[in-house]
Amino acid sequence: MSLTLPAALTGPVEEAPFPGAAPHPPLPDLAGFAAHAGTRLRENDRALYDLLARETARQRDTLMMVAASSVADPSVLACEGSVLGNLTAEGYPGNRYHAGCGVADEIERLAIERACAAFGARDAIVQPHSGSSANLAVITALLDPGDTLLGLDLDCGGHLTHGSPASVTGRHYRAHGYRVTPEGLLDYAQIRELALEHRPKLIVCGASAYPRSIDFARFREIADEAGAYLLADISHIAGLVAAGLHPNPVDHAHVTTTSTYKQLYGPRGGLILLGRDARTPGPERGTLAATLRRAVFPFTQGTPDLASVAAKARALDFVAGPGFAEVAKRLADGAQAIAERLLERGFELVTGGTDTHMVLLDLRATGVTGDVAEQALESCGIVVNRNRVPGDTTAVRVTGGLRLGTNTLAARGMDRTAVVECADLVADVLTALRAPGGVLPDPLRERVRARVSRLCAAHPLPGYPL
Ligand code: DSN
């Protein structure tokens, strides 16, 4: 992945800042400014600088296999750390509640245009601070407190904001959960049955821990039959969707949401995307798109983070471009290769494999719990997350499984041979843990650490000259 700062950010302008003023002097050199900012931080706050340097080294030197994690290009980070963070700009382009938003308007319009281009959407809202914020805006726009929603149960791979009792979405709404089959697959007959029984106002599809393709067209049929809105949350698979390697929900769902920091390799943030239903009437006044805009600002958020909006624009340009196809292919091929290798090594996988970037290991037959496995792997430089698997009876902080993903491995350019080595390292550690005693021997830890170091050095973080 190689991104460069848009020329528009470094070229000269001739316009005056406001009518009657002298023309601008030449535009500032942002690259020099970024270096200066780093130097100032080092000089003025050594403690914080050192912490940031340590975290940078940690990311450089470890194998990040958390499925919800990824790595943004430095040009994305440059937007996030830019002067746009100084800006208060409530409202939307052309309709702000503060002066001084001309450039911000252009940036937000660019982000909207690029979001639409990346997903074939007809409209996009780029202000949500996260995927969760995007979901909250959609749910509060379409439902009144006490209304019914139907989402994938958290234990079966759903997300907190899809109606979990731990979230406002499960507390302030009447939430019902659909579950997966004993094999871990979505059961569309059960979903239809629950939809017709509970008549939810909203059905949520999409998942945080589900490794298979989702049939969005089937979900829309069920939603239409039940008289419900359909929300597709594609936070985990947005890159595969944009690359055409997973079905695209944008014209099936009434609304699609995604976070931008997973498979879009963007900043912390969220998007709301609208397809063929964008201009249909919303539940109150105006179109569905207008209802959702109001739901973001002013209903659930105040001023947007324009630095994040610019960073989304930067990431979306890359995602819509030709180079992304290669990354997306590595996402899917890498996960396939990891799944195959772990099966060969005798481990069990939820659903027996993957169609996405994600592999869900069911450890219950091994006697090793997810928390122990997570810690042992981290001690070797491999970062994963413990995850409950369908039917899991262990506590949420213990878990009977692990969730692996290829977002960062793909960005690092790892081919099949490299990801199979990653899978082997995971398998070596888990195999040692399942032996009597269940402790990772120091020589094995050192051997795995050394191989992790070699893999990281051979596949540096893209665009990070560290
Ligand atoms: N949804 C959380 C996860 O999947 O880990 C974080 O985005």
Task: Return the pLDDT at 148.
Answer: 98
Is the same domain home to 296 and 417? no
Torsion sign, CA atoms 79, 84, 86, 92: negative
Residue in 175, 172, 145, 180 with CA at minimum distance from that of residue 163:
175
Last residue of a domain, one of 291, 319, 347: 319
Which residue's CA is the nearest one to ligand 1's atom 5?
A: 68
What mean pLDDT comes out for the span 262-277?
Answer: 98
Is the same domain home to 332 and 315? no
- Kindly report the CATH number assigned to the domain that includes residue 307: 3.40.640.10
213 is a domain residue = yes
The residue type at 307: A
Confidence of residue 9 (pLDDT cuts 50, 70, 90): very low
Q: How far lies 178's CA from each of 186, 192, 232, in Å?
A: 9, 10, 15
- The number of beta carbons lying within 10 Å of the beta carbon of residue 192 is 18
What mean pLDDT comes out for the span 198-214?
Answer: 98
| Residues 295/287, Cβ–Cβ less than 8 Å | no
Ligand 1 atom nearest to CA at 66:
5
Whether 11 has a pLDDT exceeding 50, the answer reads no
Is the same domain home to 305 and 378? no
* Candidate of 64, 133, 235 to mutate for ligand 1, largest count of ligand atoms within 8 Å of Cβ: 235
What mean pLDDT comes out for the span 28-53?
Answer: 96
Ligand 1 atom nearest to CA at 160:
1
- Kindly report the CATH number assigned to the domain that includes residue 349: 3.90.1150.10
For ligand 1, say whether the CB of 154 is within 6 Å of any of its atoms. no
Residue in 337, 368, 329 with CA at minimum distance from that of residue 353:
337
Question: Which of the pair, 1 or 92, is modelled with greater confidence?
Answer: 92
For ligand 1, say whether the CB of 386 is within 6 Å of any of its atoms. no
What mean pLDDT comes out for the span 215-240?
Answer: 98
What mean pLDDT comes out for the span 197-207?
Answer: 98
What mean pLDDT comes out for the span 96-121?
Answer: 97
Last residue of a domain, one of 278, 304, 319: 319
Confidence of residue 4 (pLDDT cuts 50, 70, 90): very low
Range of lowest pLDDT (38-52, 79-93, 433-447, 448-462)? 433-447
37 is a domain residue = no
Sequence-distant contacts of 26-30: CB under 8 A, at least 24 apart: 30/5, 30/78, 30/82
Ligand 1 atom nearest to CA at 209:
4
Confidence of residue 107 (pLDDT cuts 50, 70, 90): very high
Mean pLDDT, all residues of the chain: 95
What mean pLDDT comes out for the span 343-369?
Answer: 98
5 is a domain residue = no
212 is a domain residue = yes
The residue type at 293: R
Whether 8 has a pLDDT exceeding 50, the answer reads no
For ligand 1, say whether the CB of 161 is within 6 Å of any of its atoms. no
| Residues 392/369, Cβ–Cβ less than 8 Å | no
* Candidate of 208, 388, 407 to mutate for ligand 1, largest count of ligand atoms within 8 Å of Cβ: 208
For residue 324, what is the enclosing H or E element?
A: helix 324-344
Is the same domain home to 382 and 332? yes
The residue type at 200: P
Is the same domain home to 130 and 107? yes
Task: Return the pLDDT at 20.
Answer: 77
Is the same domain home to 200 and 256? yes
Tell how far the Cα of 285 is from the centroid of ligand 1, in angstroms.
33
For ligand 1, say whether the CB of 159 is within 6 Å of any of its atoms. yes
Confidence of residue 14 (pLDDT cuts 50, 70, 90): low
Task: Return the pLDDT at 25.
Answer: 86
For ligand 1, say whether the CB of 68 is within 6 Å of any of its atoms. yes
Which residue's CA is the nearest one to ligand 1's atom 6?
A: 68
* Candidate of 135, 159, 374 to mutate for ligand 1, largest count of ligand atoms within 8 Å of Cβ: 159
How does strand 63-64 pair with strand 382-383? parallel
Tell how far the Cα of 14 is from the centroid of ligand 1, in angstroms.
45
Phi, then psi, of 387 in degrees rounded to 5: -150, 140
Confidence of residue 42 (pLDDT cuts 50, 70, 90): very high
59 is a domain residue = no
Alpha carbon distance 194, 226 (integer Å): 9
Task: Return the pLDDT at 285.
Answer: 87
Phi, then psi, of 406 in degrees rounded to 5: -110, 10
Which residue's CA is the nearest one to ligand 1's atom 1?
A: 208
Residue 1, helix vs strand vs coil: coil
Strands across the sheet with 255-259, in order? 123-125, 270-274, 255-259, 229-233, 202-205, 148-152, 174-178
20 is a domain residue = no
Task: Return the pLDDT at 135.
Answer: 98
Q: Which residues of 110-125 are buried (b: 16+ CB within 10 A; e: fewer)?
A: bbbbbbbbbbebbbbb
Give how many domains the chain has, as a whole number. 2
How does strand 229-233 pair with strand 255-259? parallel
For ligand 1, say whether the CB of 399 is within 6 Å of any of its atoms. no
For ligand 1, say whether the CB of 263 is within 6 Å of any of its atoms. no
For ligand 1, say whether the CB of 208 is within 6 Å of any of its atoms. yes
Task: Return the pLDDT at 23.
Answer: 78
Whether 440 has a pLDDT exceeding 90, the answer reads yes
Tell how far the Cα of 290 is from the centroid of ligand 1, in angstroms.
28
Is the same domain home to 249 and 349? no
Is the same domain home to 114 and 253? yes
Is the same domain home to 249 and 168? yes
Question: Which of the pair, 177 or 19, is modelled with greater confidence?
Answer: 177
Tell how far the Cα of 442 is from the centroid of ligand 1, in angstroms.
32
Tell how far the Cα of 68 is from the centroid of ligand 1, in angstroms.
5
Is the same domain home to 340 and 290? no
Last residue of a domain, one of 300, 319, 338: 319
48 is a domain residue = no
15 is a domain residue = no
Is the same domain home to 243 and 134? yes
Which residue's CA is the nearest one to ligand 1's atom 7?
A: 68
What mean pLDDT comes out for the span 128-152?
Answer: 98
Tell how far the Cα of 132 is from the centroid of ligand 1, in angstroms.
10
| Residues 380/402, Cβ–Cβ less than 8 Å | no
Is the same domain home to 333 and 430? yes
Would you list the DSSP string of 226-252?
HT-EEEEE-TTTHHHHHTTSS---TTT
Quote the domain boundaries for residue 292: 86-319
- The number of beta carbons lying within 10 Å of the beta carbon of residue 322 is 6
Task: Return the pLDDT at 284.
Answer: 84
